[in-house]
Amino acid sequence: MADTQPPREVFLNPGEWFFGSGDIRLRTVLGSCVALVFWHRQRRLGGMCHYLLPLRRATKSKMLDGRYGNEALQLLLGAMREVKVPPTEFRVSVFGGGNMFPGLARPDNHYVGHRNVEQAKRLLDLHHLQCDNQHVEGVGYRTVVFDLADGNVQLNYLALQRPLSSPQGVRAI
């Protein structure tokens, strides 16, 4: 009888990223943060980053920081270059960017989750990457489970109820 081990679980906290292959499941929980998920079906390679903010203000640091969208993507792109697979060959998914405080949203609707999603779209355009799947914005949080063995992504979305005093005056059910 073969000894089958369950997949290794890797939980990504905000600012963390992972790239690799094998019997590994990447998990994360997103509120206003965004996860970029990359999958290469033929090579069975993939990766995910979980970033908090669109970009970092000017800094003297030369080290990339995965807490910022532009730098998190650079970290993943670097890992793809190391294995000599062009980033354009990967399927890309974008998740997250929820409004966690709907009663406090600015009139222009530019809460941090919205800005994170805008940054993801800008970065994908900048690097000529096509988004194949997305579940973004809304009110609430998501859990994402990405299986590197087969590329399957499981998404669970929990919508938060809007406070009665919200500008829309509507409660999500």
pLDDT digits (tens, 9 = 90+) for 28-76: 999 999 999 999 999 999 999 999 999 998 778 889 999 999 999 999 9
Report if residue 69 sits inside a domain.
Answer: yes
Mean pLDDT, the chain, rounded, equals 89
Report if residue 122 sits inside a domain.
Answer: yes
pLDDT > 50? residue 167? no
pLDDT > 60? residue 166? no
Number of domains in the chain: 1
User: Where in the sequence is the domain holding 44, given as residue range(s)?
Assistant: 8-159
Q: What is the full DSSP assignment across 90-132? A: SEEEEEE---S-GGG--TT---HHHHHHHHHHHHHHHTT--EE
pTM, 2 dp: 0.88
